[in-house]
Structure 1
Amino acid sequence: MDSTNTPALETERLILRRFTEKDLDALFHIYSDEEVNTYLPWFPLASVEEAGVLFKEKYLEVYRQPHGYHYAICLKNGQAPVGYIHAGTDGSHDLGYGLLKEFWHRSLVTEAARAVVGQLKKDGVPFITATHDIRNPRSGGVMKQLGMHYQYSYEEQWQPKDIPVIFRLYQLNLDGQENRVYMEYWNQSSIRFKEAGV
């Protein structure tokens, strides 16, 4: 399988690379932590076997696409991934991330995200979006540090947890079209509004 569709990226402190089957223990560690996954739609993984299924369904499928932006976040002084960062290849170009809590508050996700955004811009992706649960404002802080701008809030019945969640949508246009706003979530939701002072 050609790895050029997910080129490795390097920052001051990090290597961003594809997940491999050798990373199943690390994937399990990241995706099984209840606190890390509190504001994510899926339930924490219960076994390494479940991590194997996740790897095949979530990562290998993306790596087969012409461009796949699903990265393992690895410290330069360590081999095992400590988190992940994804940029969707669908119409939303949604940015998502997760990091083991012992590595929180070091700006590692922001550093990783800047590298991914640079690659997306290089590849001609016109914009990115990102959403966060309003109960998780720290995630919104990462979005602001990337230069993303708040656009609107909306409610979604999140699956598979099947709970209603209010999200804030942020967007960064990479091609100079500053007035573009991704409206798909707004159009799909019956509860939608713009918050002042976000």
Structure 2
Amino acid sequence: MGFEQAFSQFPILETERLILRQLQVADAGELYAYYSDPAVYQYLDWHGPNSVEDAAERVISNWNRWYAEQRIIRWGIVLKTTQRLIGTIFLCDFVGESRADVGYELGKAHWNQGIMTEALRAVIAFGFEAMGLHRIQAIVNPENPASLTVLKKAGFVEEGLLRAYEYHYIRRDFNDVIMLALLRRDFALSSERTSQ
């Protein structure tokens, strides 16, 4: 597979506990339900959908349209045991075929269970091995230690603080963020060590 092929048919990823798949209108209720908790969006740059209808008609519709436009791959995180949507994870802001940003959110009931680490490892493997990306990066609010921990467990390296870097669309102000990144060569080295 290559970069273009990743956008020819939505890639479904599977892990031990999870299926990462394209979001559907039927997911709108679950998406809205977990986004209704301020703890889920407190460190994000928006507050999520305003209603189940907004989740279906605007949010999921936009994410799928942006996939067709090769702007984002946003996977729904689904538990195999329940087949319920519990979060999303995405690659976006592609710079040519070399770089992408990763982001995610997860319903609070599923925090501290290793779920996001499991999903993140599947997505970065896809980005490097299937899409041929050179660098995957993430920006994190400095007050969000849980997200920093998830990224560092996956091998991301903290690169520094970017002052007033991310615009918050609801508050209409700018957030400081920490930049972290993982390079394909470092991912390949860690994969080799794991397989030995």
**TM-score of the superposition, structure 2-length normalised?**
0.82
The correspondence for 2:148, drawn from 137, 140, 149, is 140
- Report the counterpart of residue 165 of structure 1 in structure 2: 175
| 1:1-198 to 2 correspondences below 5 Å | 4-52=8-56, 53-57=58-62, 59-66=63-70, 68-91=72-95, 93-122=100-129, 123-156=131-164, 158-160=167-169, 161-175=171-185
- Stretches (4+) displaced over 6 A: none
RMSD: 2.3
Unpaired runs of 5+ in structure 1? Answer: 178-198
Unpaired runs of 5+ in structure 2? Answer: 1-5, 188-196
- Contact (CA 8 Å) 1:6, 1:67: kept in 2 or not? no
CA distance in 2, matches of 1:94, 1:126: 11
Displacement of 1:47 after TM fit? Answer: 1.0
**TM-score of the superposition, structure 1-length normalised?**
0.81
CA distance in 1, matches of 2:45, 2:127: 25
Report percent identity of matched pairs. Answer: 30
User: Compared with structure 1, are the counterparts of its residues 3 and 87 closer, same or farther at alpha carbon in structure 2 (3 Å cutoff)?
Assistant: closer
* Letter aligned with residue 110 of structure 1: T
Displacement of 1:114 after TM fit? Answer: 0.3
The structure whose residues are more often helix, as a share, is: 2
Deviations 1:145-196 (A, max 9, x none): 110101110122523122332210000011469xxxxxxxxxxxxxxxxxxx
